[in-house]
Amino acid sequence: MNCRICGHDAEPFMSFGKMPIANGFLSPDQYDDEYFFELAPIFCINCSTFQLLEQPDPKMMFHDEYAFFSRTSKNMAKHFTEFAQSVMDGYLDDVSPLVVEVGSNDGILLDNFAKAGIRHVGVEPSGNVAEVARKHGVNTVTAFFDEDLVADVVSEYGQADALIAANVMCHIPDIHAVVQAAEKLLKPKGVFIFEDPYLGSMIEKVSYDQIYDEHVYIFSASSVANIFIHHGFELIDVVPQVTHGGSMRYVLARKGARDVSEVVAKQIETEHALGLHKRETYDQFRLNCEESRESLIRLLKEKRAEGASVVGYAATSKSTTVLNYCGIGPDLIDYISDTTPMKQGKFSPGTHIPVKDHDTFKSDYPDYAVLFAWNHEKEILANETLFMQSGGSWIVFVPCVSVRTE
């Protein structure tokens, strides 16, 4: 296979096997037609980009029944308020600035600009979540972000000061097309700021569940610098984030348009020290994933053999990779509790574990809950003190498989 970014040869270093659509929660009458593809990551030694060998058609993942709504987490809402403030403080013109967001979901980030009276446009392909954004007063277009869309935005509003994205760029296979469109959208000193799960954190924590259909790339500072330089953009700042188990915010501007922070070179040096540019790092990652899988299966079988009740906590996209890669089905997990109404009453993709509402969890605590939303651990553990007080324990698998009783 050739690297999507630079065309260099890039071989898969592992396969997670056949995988369904990560957010494809379904009902039993849909089991026969369930779609599967091979989930295999590849790493390009030439441009340092970690990517998927194969990705399903975007229309199969992002549509009018997309099951992920960003507003589900209070901590994420707080995070996005801080993100918006950093954009307002550092990168907007004094007079009538414009902010455009790619993949604005339910408007959780743009809300902050709307409330501050800043002109904004959200671009969101999934109609149902875009509708939620509009109900919150966020100006949103239901569309994929491309040059045609940019031409419409520029003719209606003019060029933008900032193009922003959160947990979106890693979903878009033709990233060159996005950067070309960004080039047309942004003012001469305009910035493109985006954040996504960070490759260094994933490798370090063995959080292989970040790898699923939607995440066609897992970026690093090195890969982002390499991708954008082809389009005359340079990486001017990087800001590590704790969200999603370790993310990175990247700030890009036209080459020479703005000062480059010294932290950029430092981050790229750190990535070299971590070996993120080397094939051996990914061979070791594969071994670490296999070890994590063995430990999780062993632990769940042990608990079942003891007669314990075990449920999943949060039917995350990430859980689809864990459950299918480890072959964990209703024999090992009774149900998954999730707060998203669209997922409740359905079954997990591929492994067909029932998804139930949070009241089911609260009304009869299980002995163990597998923390699939480990990235929201702080928020969840604070909300679920009663579960632990009544003798329940958490099963976690990142950074390693263990049982938590406190």
CA distance 305 to 141: 52
CB of 305 to ligand DWN, least distance (A): 28
Residue 343 interacts with ligand DWN (CB under 6 A)? yes
Candidates 100, 199, 338, 401: give the one binding ligand DWN (CB under 6 A): 338
CB of 377 to ligand DWN, least distance (A): 9
Select the span of 222-230, 253-261, 274-282, 335-343 touching ligand DWN (CB under 6 A).
335-343
DSSP codes joined into one string, 110-125: HHHHHHTT-EEEEE-S
Q: Which amino acid is at 48?
A: S
Residue 380 interacts with ligand DWN (CB under 6 A)? yes
Query: Is 395 in a helix, a strand, or coil?
Result: strand
Interaction mask 138-177, ligand DWN, x per CB under 6 A: -----------------------------x----------
Task: Give the burial class of 273: count Cβ atoms within 10 A of its Cβ; 0-12 exposed, 13-18 middle, 19 or more buried.
Answer: exposed
Candidates 48, 241, 340, 393: give the one binding ligand DWN (CB under 6 A): 340
Residue 185 interacts with ligand DWN (CB under 6 A)? no
Query: Hey, which residues between 224 and 283 contact ligand DWN (CB under 6 A)?
Result: 244
Residue 68 interacts with ligand DWN (CB under 6 A)? yes
Residues 218, 202: contact at Cβ < 8 Å?
yes
Q: Which is nearer to ligand DWN, 131 or 147 (CB)?
A: 131
Phi-psi region of 142 (alpha: psi -120 to 50; beta: other; left: phi over 0): beta
Select the span of 47-55, 130-138, 278-286, 332-340 touching ligand DWN (CB under 6 A).
332-340
Residue 211 interacts with ligand DWN (CB under 6 A)? no
Select the span of 31-39, 66-74, 142-150, 390-398 touching ligand DWN (CB under 6 A).
66-74
CA quadruple 398, 399, 403, 405: dihedral sign? negative
Candidates 318, 326, 370, 387: give the one binding ligand DWN (CB under 6 A): 318
Phi-psi region of 391 (alpha: psi -120 to 50; beta: other; left: phi over 0): left
Interface size with ligand DWN, residues (CB under 6 A): 20
Residues 215, 52: contact at Cβ < 8 Å?
yes
Residue 316 interacts with ligand DWN (CB under 6 A)? yes
CA distance 243 to 210: 12
Residue 206 interacts with ligand DWN (CB under 6 A)? no
Residue 201 interacts with ligand DWN (CB under 6 A)? no
Q: Which amino acid is at 124?
A: E
CB of 23 to ligand DWN, least distance (A): 7
- Helix (H) and strand (E) counts for the chain? 14, 18
CA angle 404, 392, 402 (to 5 degrees): 25
Contacting residues toward ligand DWN, per CB under 6 A: 68, 72-73, 167, 214, 244, 314-318, 338-340, 343, 373, 375-376, 379-380
